[in-house]
Structure 1
Amino acid sequence: MPMATNKTSESKSKKKTTKKTETPEEPVWTYRGYKLQTSEFVTAMVHFFRAEVNRANVWRQRLDTTTNWAVVSTGATLSIAFSQPTIHHGIIILNTLLVIWFLFIEGRRYRYYELWSYRVRLMETDFYAAMLVPPFHPSPEWAESLAENLLSPSFPISLLEALGRRLRRNYFWIFLILYASWVAKIWLFPIPATGMTEFINRAAVGPVSGQVMILLGLIFYLSLTIVAVATVTMTRATGEILPRFGADSPTISVSDIDKPKGLRSWFTHRRRRRQLLALIITGNVDAVSKRILADLGRGVTALEGKGMYTGTSRTVLICALTMTEAHNLKNAVAKEDPQAFVIVSPAQEILGRGFNPLDEDGE
């Protein structure tokens, strides 16, 4: 009987071991030498996504708050201005200046809102959409763009585009109400004007004549109209314009987003990933090259050089990379040759595989 129990226990243990060996290993997400389990990576991305959505919502609420300030101040000003005939129309002009300041504040807040919305859209289009629709392939640059935005945050839209967008959405109508109220206040109070000459004379504010005030008003509203119209073609804002960052998108791609079009090209510069060029002078050429290829996945080119101080021949390695890869490059070189001489300088433009396509300007 003891022999039988031993055999059964051995057979059970064998079955357990065979089951363990048959179970496939969980896929591992590898990125620049670091390895995370798939569940860990997804959990981190989910928490990061929730944090960015919360940030975007907070700044969206701040936008609504600024608009409420403009609406409330305009309503209060008009109520006071038309409450008594003797109240001067200059109070409407002062409120117009106050609304201009509110517009400027909201434009700045809108740029912060777009910063968080840009990150949210990157994750929505190239992380979650890739999981929901299997044929959809994420853009190879989405993780690089997200990492660069985290390391070196920058506003995705210009202040001019932010002002133009908020002006068209809300503030242009507030300014029109103020302008109509200003004209009505001058024409109707204290008694209706008998003609255009009297209307112009009533428009005077202190030592400034009525003709100058009307001319300044026309220039101001003409400027608002120009800003509103000139920024229509600026579509870098991801909070309201929803671009697709995937290369397989039928409507828009990363390169299309970065290309200024129409009037937008007059006011904005083309945004690129920050590109660098590294020169590495080392005596351990093969090991350093293999390390860079393995850790960064970047190509390396070797050139023959000569140290003029020592007169000895040296091999110079050239590697093109992005800003987020600079730290990993230094670590990779230091592992193989701590005495290496490394120069990392910004590159004006890098075209080719792994960067922007060579024929992108001709498309």
Structure 2
Amino acid sequence: MERGAGLDDQAADRVDLSDRRWEDRREFITAMAHLYRGEISRANTWRTRLDATTNWAVVTVAGVFTVAFSSAQHPHFVLLLALLLVLTFLNIEARRYRYYLLWSYRVHLLETDFFAPLLVSPSRPASDWADHLAESLLHPSFPMAYWDAIGRRFRRNYVWLVTLLVLSWSAKLFLHPVPTRDWETVLARAAVGPVEGMVVIAAVGLVCGGLVGVSIASLLLPAWGRGLPEVVRRIQKRAGPLMPGPKPRERLATIITSHGQEMARRIMEELQRGVTALTGTGMYTGEVRDVLLCAVTDVQVPYLEEIARQTDPGSFVVVSPAEEVRGKGFRPFEPPS
């Protein structure tokens, strides 16, 4: 009998980790510290990979210069091959930069919204920082578009390498094997096999112009986007994978219940979300019910459903995707254009 009671006590002491609410503050801070160390390690790893890619590009350019100008008989398209390699490295670095920003976003979120408030008495972290962090962990998305990463890395590092290659290629055409100022001779030298020189020069100019355009766009469009009309912004949202920013995952919950006061209180206290109460009448039963409206994040939906189940098992919950939610606890209102 005593043994059975002991087993019951042990079973009662077991904690279901899936239902844990981190009532122990020390355990929660310890878990966040370990998460912070892990995200710092990831960010440092990808930062090292960024530097390695840049080093590859620099070494490639330096080696090609040595080969191209060591003899007048060496062909000019060696420099064009080096340009293709540098563009390949730029593509790799842009991809790595997006991963680096993903980990850096989490590190910055922990530093500014969790650790920094701990240093201020009383400790008051932002109400929605955990939602943003959980959203990034459950549904990772790059905080920057691919074309924007290309533009930024080109401005920071690769503009100098590409400029040196293009200038060296032009000098090779005009100087080797003998100096010339005749444009026809330069066009003849620029030819690569059956491809005419004018086509090669136009292709190089198009590539360089495209890089400059993407670089300028990545610099100016974020500022312009804040002043664009709403219609243009909506078109940009549907413009495909080149547009920056993760997709919003806000939800609008509609709860029909006969325990509106208690359920609204729990939602406001446990989820830190505002609730709007309406009065409705069931057309089948004729009973008066409370209709609660609440905007929540995708991460909070399971907790909202659990609150509804515990408070009123007979409640009716409808969760709909929201196109956009702005206000306290979500994205701020943008100034009018």
TM interval, shorter chain, is: 0.7 to 0.9
Q: What are the superposed Cα offsets for residues 92-134 of structure 1, whole Å, 9 maximum, x if unpaired?
A: 2122122212111110110000011111111222233334455
Following superposition, the deviation at residue 171 of structure 1 comes to 0.9
Separation in 1, partners of 2:156, 2:102: 19
Structure of larger gyration radius: 1
Aligned match of 1:219:
206
Question: Which residues of 2 match residues 179-194 of structure 1 at below 5 A?
Answer: 179-194=166-181
Q: What are the superposed Cα offsets for residues 287-344 of structure 1, whole Å, 9 maximum, x if unpaired?
A: 544443443243242331435xx45446343322111210101111122344543221
Aligned match of 1:89:
76
Question: Which residues of 2 match residues 1-363 of structure 1 at below 5 A?
Answer: 34-132=21-119, 138-233=125-220, 260-261=225-226, 268=243, 274-282=249-257, 284-285=259-260, 287-298=262-273, 299-307=275-283, 310=284, 312-313=286-287, 315=289, 316-356=291-331, 360-362=334-336
Judged with a 3 Å threshold, the aligned counterparts in structure 2 of structure 1 residues 138 and 331 are, in CA distance, closer, same or farther, namely closer
Secondary structure of the 2:73 match is: coil
Q: What are the superposed Cα offsets for residues 4-27 of structure 1, whole Å, 9 maximum, x if unpaired?
A: xxxxxxxxxxxxxxxxxxxxxxxx
Which letter maps to 1:195? D
Separation in 1, partners of 2:216, 2:143: 20
Secondary structure of the 2:319 match is: strand
- The 8 Å contact of residues 291 and 333 in structure 1, kept in 2 or not, is answered as no
Which letter maps to 1:301? A
Q: For structure 1, which segment, 129-138 or 150-159, has the greater mean C-alpha deviation from structure 2 after superposition? A: 129-138
Secondary structure of the 2:294 match is: strand
Aligned match of 1:16:
none
Separation in 1, partners of 2:81, 2:227: 36
Unaligned stretches of 5+ residues in structure 2: 1-18, 237-241
Separation in 2, partners of 1:311, 1:318: 22
TM-score (norm 1): 0.73
The total of aligned residue pairs comes to 306
- The 8 Å contact of residues 295 and 332 in structure 1, kept in 2 or not, is answered as no
Secondary structure of the 1:78 match is: helix
Give structure 1 regions of 4+ aligned residues with deviation exceeding 6 angstroms: none
Judged with a 3 Å threshold, the aligned counterparts in structure 2 of structure 1 residues 144 and 260 are, in CA distance, closer, same or farther, namely farther
Judged with a 3 Å threshold, the aligned counterparts in structure 2 of structure 1 residues 226 and 297 are, in CA distance, closer, same or farther, namely closer
Aligned match of 2:15:
none
Judged with a 3 Å threshold, the aligned counterparts in structure 2 of structure 1 residues 293 and 121 are, in CA distance, closer, same or farther, namely closer
Following superposition, the deviation at residue 346 of structure 1 comes to 0.8
The sequence identity of aligned pairs, in percent, is 42
Judged with a 3 Å threshold, the aligned counterparts in structure 2 of structure 1 residues 129 and 106 are, in CA distance, closer, same or farther, namely same
Following superposition, the deviation at residue 162 of structure 1 comes to 1.1
Separation in 1, partners of 2:63, 2:145: 32
TM-score (norm 2): 0.78
- The 8 Å contact of residues 98 and 144 in structure 2, kept in 1 or not, is answered as yes
Q: Please state which structure has a larger fraction of its residues in helix.
A: 2
Aligned match of 1:17:
none
Unaligned stretches of 5+ residues in structure 1: 1-31, 236-256
Separation in 2, partners of 1:69, 1:208: 29
Judged with a 3 Å threshold, the aligned counterparts in structure 2 of structure 1 residues 177 and 321 are, in CA distance, closer, same or farther, namely same
- The 8 Å contact of residues 76 and 172 in structure 2, kept in 1 or not, is answered as yes
Which letter maps to 2:249? R
Judged with a 3 Å threshold, the aligned counterparts in structure 2 of structure 1 residues 137 and 262 are, in CA distance, closer, same or farther, namely farther
Separation in 2, partners of 1:152, 1:81: 48
Judged with a 3 Å threshold, the aligned counterparts in structure 2 of structure 1 residues 88 and 70 are, in CA distance, closer, same or farther, namely same
Which letter maps to 2:180? A
Which letter maps to 1:295? E
Q: What are the superposed Cα offsets for residues 67-90 of structure 1, whole Å, 9 maximum, x if unpaired?
A: 122222223333332333333212
Q: For structure 1, which segment, 196-205 or 223-232, has the greater mean C-alpha deviation from structure 2 after superposition? A: 223-232
Judged with a 3 Å threshold, the aligned counterparts in structure 2 of structure 1 residues 92 and 272 are, in CA distance, closer, same or farther, namely closer
- The 8 Å contact of residues 301 and 319 in structure 1, kept in 2 or not, is answered as no
Secondary structure of the 1:53 match is: helix
